[in-house]
Amino acid sequence: MAGRGHKWRAIVGIPAALAAVLGALIAGTLYGELNGVPFVGIYQDWSIGVLIGESPLLLRPASGASNPVLRASDVSDIDALFVADPFLLQQNDGYVMFFEALNREDWKGDIAMATSEDGMAWTYGSVVLDETYHLSYPYVFRWKGETYMVPESMEAFGVFLYRAERFPDKWVRVRTLLEGRYVDPSLTYWSGRWWLFVGESEDDILRLFSAASLNNRFVEHPDSPLVVGDKVRARPAGRLLQFDGRLFRCTQDDALDFGKRVSLFEILTLTAKEYKEVPTHAGLAAGEDGWNAAGVHHLDAVEQGPDQWLAVVDGWDRRRIAFRWR
């Protein structure tokens, strides 16, 4: 079985006797099966933290938060292995965060949510979207009085638009935006048009599609693929950031290992016929120790006020092993 988003991988078909020996040697093992086949699962231990700054280009750990603000152990309605890919929405009474929670029961991602009054301390809510296929990267946004979500659903061979029938815990799928195996779909409205950036599963290709409205067909840009053969800047790493009349694209650096750092590129030209971007000096790197010591790979930020930004990021500090057999 291939890794889902490279946050975890499974080695299937191992002999049960070998799995039993490994399970006896390593703590925190898991007993069961995946599709009736014994396997060893190797996963990165992701959690979620909070940053603040004068802009999304100048972020630092929030002194009012105890990072990480959310771990797998905070998820109470499923047995989660990790939490990752956080996206923020502001509410009148605070904030709602949506994120991937990898379910130990079936080793697929569910979309869960948490709430906060001040963005510093977070309270876990529940799983809000659970499909028969793996979900991650819950890109949430509001448009014309409605709240929408475009999660990654590569295993279902499509990019799907969901609408909140009852916010924040009931979502309905309203249409297919694209067909194909695309990762981390990132959607933004800019200059009177919708733009949809998607990666491909090998993390070295970036494609761009656009449509006049959310109900129209998305067509590929003439300059697409925008990136080919470059794992440093191809895969999306969070929301397209609009700041000071400028547009920035977040990217994962997966060249040496999955989830090492986040870089920001400024999009200088985005029209139906032309695309141009340049690198910036902004980005996020692994911390010196603790919850994000091995790397980071996702950023979402909202503007709280003049020169005040709140961001959520994910990070990982080690690889862990889980076993399943019967």
Among residues 238, 256, 157, the alpha carbon closest in space to that of 201 is found at 157
Q: Does residue 2 form part of some domain?
A: no
- Token pair of 214 as six digits: 């959310």
- What pLDDT tens digit does each residue of the chain (326 aa) get? 334 557 877 655 545 455 444 544 443 334 344 455 556 778 899 999 999 999 999 999 999 999 999 999 999 999 999 999 999 999 988 999 999 999 988 889 999 999 999 999 999 999 999 999 999 999 999 999 999 999 999 999 999 999 999 999 999 999 999 999 999 999 999 999 999 999 998 899 999 999 999 999 999 999 999 999 999 999 999 999 999 999 999 999 988 888 899 999 999 999 999 999 999 999 999 997 799 999 999 999 999 999 999 999 999 999 888 766 54
| Residue linked to tokens 């009349």 | 245
Strand 108-116 relative to strand 227-228: parallel, antiparallel, unpaired?
unpaired
Q: Does residue 231 form part of some domain?
A: yes
Q: Does residue 305 form part of some domain?
A: yes
**CB contact at 8 A, 301 and 241:** yes
Q: Does residue 1 form part of some domain?
A: no
Among residues 248, 269, 313, the alpha carbon closest in space to that of 51 is found at 313
CATH number of the domain residue 169 falls in: 2.115.10.20
Residue 86 has φ and ψ, to the nearest 5°, of -80, 140
Q: Does residue 132 form part of some domain?
A: yes
Using CA atoms, how far apart are residues 114 and 53, in angstroms rounded to an integer?
22
Dihedral in degrees, nearest 10, Cα atoms 143, 269, 228, 176: 20
**CB contact at 8 A, 169 and 154:** no
CA 81 to chain centre: 15
Q: Does residue 3 form part of some domain?
A: no
Supply the pLDDT for residue 18: 52
What per-residue string of b and e applies to 44-72 under the rule 16 or more CB within 10 Å gives b?
bbbbbbbbbbebbbebeebeebebbbbbb
Q: Does residue 115 form part of some domain?
A: yes
Residue 25 has φ and ψ, to the nearest 5°, of -90, -25
The three-class DSSP label of residue 24 is: helix
- Token pair of 202 as six digits: 């090998």
Using CA atoms, how far apart are residues 81 and 134, in angstroms rounded to an integer?
14
Number of domains composing the chain: 1
- Token pair of 63 as six digits: 């002194």
What lies within 8 Å, CB to CB, of 147 at 6+ separation is 89, 140, 141, 163, 164, 167, 168
Using CA atoms, how far apart are residues 154 and 236, in angstroms rounded to an integer?
14
Residue 276 has φ and ψ, to the nearest 5°, of -150, 135
Using CA atoms, how far apart are residues 118 and 27, in angstroms rounded to an integer?
37
Domain of residue 163 covers 8-324
Q: Does residue 274 form part of some domain?
A: yes
The three-class DSSP label of residue 7 is: coil
